[in-house]
């Protein structure tokens, strides 16, 4: 639960700091966006293997140590003298985040009784929404008062609290998977595949489509994906387990849930990333005011999320997931028609937040209950990899669409129109794959007494 608040706050705070980082380091929007993208790239590559590791050595240990890595890296980010050093510490910070994200949903999945998984994930969704709600106003205030470095320093006390809470309250894992050799080759191939795609999207903003800056990273992406598919196929033939859990994707609810979830995170973080530029550059708002307006999105998300979890447990996931993405699509339509109106943007943010609040807990519950309980961390790793990749695509795509028109209302309108279409596609996927959340065998865990807990599991 703690991961939900801390991680969501972190993403939304950095979003508000991006314009300040661009101005402080005198770099392009594409270069400034890599402060977010470098973090997300590492989370995409690391969260699934870390999930596998958690299934074999214990979730509590990695969760607590993840807070330590994240907190120390945050200090490095705050002291960074250049944007390149900042990107480097963001990579380390992402490793800590992967240790947290790979375990958060799995801990909930295993702790909740059958038939209440949606409700438990709904409660986590409230924590995530509260984190997102705190991020914009806090981030805007910090940037306005003390600059972008305070955005990272605020993680230090939060990280210490997270470590103490994890040691005292997290349950130990009682059933562990046999240890297996990590699939390092897949990780080596996945990183250039994702990085090449993101570099392609950010490079095309300022280069011709057939230039080396665009063609080369795209070629790296294609070759890396082909090599990853070939390598995965060979491992399956040898009856070895690859990095990507191909067997889980045999389930249609799991596959469509992952695909729809990726699009939902893309549209959610796409609007969160690009709206501060519209407010500050086009409409002349200050960072603290922009943060307050952005907070209405996660606030509406927090209101809707617990109802969505309960509704998914009782009526199945199709109703809240399809309704949620339909609400988000309507919000983007409002943003397209009123790009320079504060009232219109407020309505759009409320609708997108409500849509995400309905969609996310129900869809996450479908993904988690489609996998066996013994593979909860792996399924949670896939879910969080999807979130990180969708977030990265949201940042890269909206940045591209915004910059192609040199910013302003036209660029913002183009970005919102694209997100509206993607929200409709996500709704269609949810309709095809969502189902009643079926109870599955759940590993029983016990909450340890305060103090004296062994961190080895």
Class of domain 2-173+243-433: mainly alpha
For residue 258, CA distances in Å to 234, 363, 391 come to 24, 8, 13
From the list 375, 138, 162, 132, the residue with the least C-alpha distance to 273 is 132
Rounded Cα–Cα distance for residues 217 and 400 (Å): 16
According to the model, what pLDDT value does residue 64 have?
Answer: 87
Rounded Cα–Cα distance for residues 206 and 198 (Å): 14
**Is 47 within 8 Å of 98 (Cβ atoms)?**
yes
According to the model, what pLDDT value does residue 447 have?
Answer: 37
Q: Name residue, tokens 């009643």.
A: 436
According to the model, what pLDDT value does residue 302 have?
Answer: 82
Give start and end residues of each alpha helix (H) in 238-339: 252-277, 287-294, 296-315, 318-337
Delimit the domains of the chain by residue range: 2-173+243-433, 184-242
Name the token pair of 135.
């991020």
Name the token pair of 99.
């240790």
CA atoms within 13 A on the CB side of 452: 3
According to the model, what pLDDT value does residue 418 have?
Answer: 96
Residues 6+ apart with CB under 8 A from 216: none
Residue 151: alpha-carbon gap to chain centroid: 19
**Is 411 within 8 Å of 404 (Cβ atoms)?**
yes
Instruction: Check residue 285 and report its DSSP letter.
Output: -
pLDDT tens by residue, the chain, 457 residues:
444 444 555 555 676 678 888 888 988 877 888 888 888 888 888 887 887 777 777 777 788 889 999 999 999 999 999 999 999 999 999 999 888 877 666 667 666 666 666 666 666 666 665 666 566 677 777 887 878 898 899 889 989 998 998 888 776 766 566 666 667 888 889 889 999 998 898 888 777 777 888 899 999 999 999 999 999 999 888 877 787 788 888 888 899 999 999 999 999 999 988 998 889 888 989 887 888 898 899 889 888 888 887 787 788 888 999 999 999 999 999 999 998 899 999 999 999 999 999 998 889 888 888 887 777 767 877 887 888 899 889 988 998 898 876 667 888 999 999 999 999 999 999 988 765 554 444 444 343 343 334 444 5
- 252-277 and 287-294 helices cross at what angle (nearest 10)? 150
Rounded Cα–Cα distance for residues 43 and 321 (Å): 25
Output phi, psi for 242, to 5 deg: -80, 170
Name the token pair of 362.
């129900």
**Is 384 within 8 Å of 260 (Cβ atoms)?**
no
**Is 408 within 8 Å of 282 (Cβ atoms)?**
yes
For residues 60-86, b (16+ Cβ closer than 10 Å) or e, as one string? bbbbbbbbbbbbbbbebbbebeebeeb
How many other C-beta atoms are found inside a 10 Å radius of the C-beta of residue 145? 10
**Is 8 within 8 Å of 129 (Cβ atoms)?**
yes
According to the model, what pLDDT value does residue 455 have?
Answer: 41
**Is 65 within 8 Å of 99 (Cβ atoms)?**
yes
According to the model, what pLDDT value does residue 135 have?
Answer: 66
**Is 445 within 8 Å of 174 (Cβ atoms)?**
yes
According to the model, what pLDDT value does residue 453 have?
Answer: 40
Name the token pair of 217.
């990273």
Q: pTM for this one?
A: 0.77
For residues 149-178, b (16+ Cβ closer than 10 Å) or e, as one string? bbbbebbeebbeebbeebbeebbbbeeebe
């Amino acid at each position: 639960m703690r991961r939900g608040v801390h991680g969501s706050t972190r993403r939304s705070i950095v979003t508000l700091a991006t314009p300040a980082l661009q101005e402080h380091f005198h770099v392009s929007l594409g270069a400034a966006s890599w402060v977010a993208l470098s973090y997300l790239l590492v989370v995409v590559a690391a969260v699934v293997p870390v999930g596998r590791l958690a299934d074999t050595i214990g979730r509590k240990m990695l969760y607590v140590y993840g807070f330590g890595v994240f907190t120390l890296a945050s200090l490095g980010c705050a002291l960074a003298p250049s944007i390149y050093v900042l990107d480097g510490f963001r990579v380390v910070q992402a490793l800590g985040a992967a240790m947290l994200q790979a375990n958060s949903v799995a801990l909930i999945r295993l702790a909740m009784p059958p038939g209440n998984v949606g409700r438990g994930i709904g409660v986590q969704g409230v924590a995530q929404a509260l984190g997102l709600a705190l991020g914009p106003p806090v981030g805007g205030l910090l940037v306005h008062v003390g600059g972008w470095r305070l955005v990272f320093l605020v993680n230090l006390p939060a990280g210490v609290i997270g470590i103490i809470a994890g040691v005292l309250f997290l349950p130990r894992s009682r059933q562990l998977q046999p240890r297996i050799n990590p699939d390092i080759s897949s990780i080596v191939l996945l990183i250039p595949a994702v990085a090449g795609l993101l570099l392609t999207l950010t490079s095309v903003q300022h280069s011709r489509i057939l230039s080396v800056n665009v063609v080369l990273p795209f070629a790296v992406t294609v070759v890396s994906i082909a090599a990853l598919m070939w390598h995965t196929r060979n491992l399956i033939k040898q009856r070895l387990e690859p990095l990507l859990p191909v067997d889980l994707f045999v389930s249609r609810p799991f596959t469509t849930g992952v695909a729809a979830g990726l699009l939902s995170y893309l549209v959610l973080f796409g609007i969160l990333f690009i709206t501060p530029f519209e407010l500050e550059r086009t409409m002349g708002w200050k960072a603290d005011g922009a943060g307050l307006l952005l907070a209405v999105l996660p606030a509406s998300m927090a209101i809707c999320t617990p109802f969505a979890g309960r509704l998914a447990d009782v009526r199945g996931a199709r109703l809240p997931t399809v309704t949620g993405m339909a609400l988000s699509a309507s919000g983007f339509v409002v943003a397209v028609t009123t790009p320079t109106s504060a009232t219109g943007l407020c309505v759009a943010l409320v609708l997108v937040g409500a849509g995400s609040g309905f969609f996310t807990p129900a869809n996450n519950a479908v993904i988690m209950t489609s996998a066996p309980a013994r593979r909860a961390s792996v399924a949670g790793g896939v879910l969080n990899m999807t979130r990180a990749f969708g977030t990265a695509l949201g940042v890269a795509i909206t940045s591209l669409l915004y910059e192609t028109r040199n910013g302003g209302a036209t660029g913002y309108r183009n970005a919102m129109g694209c997100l509206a279409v993607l929200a409709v596609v996500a709704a269609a996927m949810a309709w095809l794959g969502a189902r009643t959340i079926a109870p599955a065998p759940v590993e029983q865990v016990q909450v340890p007494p305060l103090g004296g807990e062994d961190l080895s599991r």
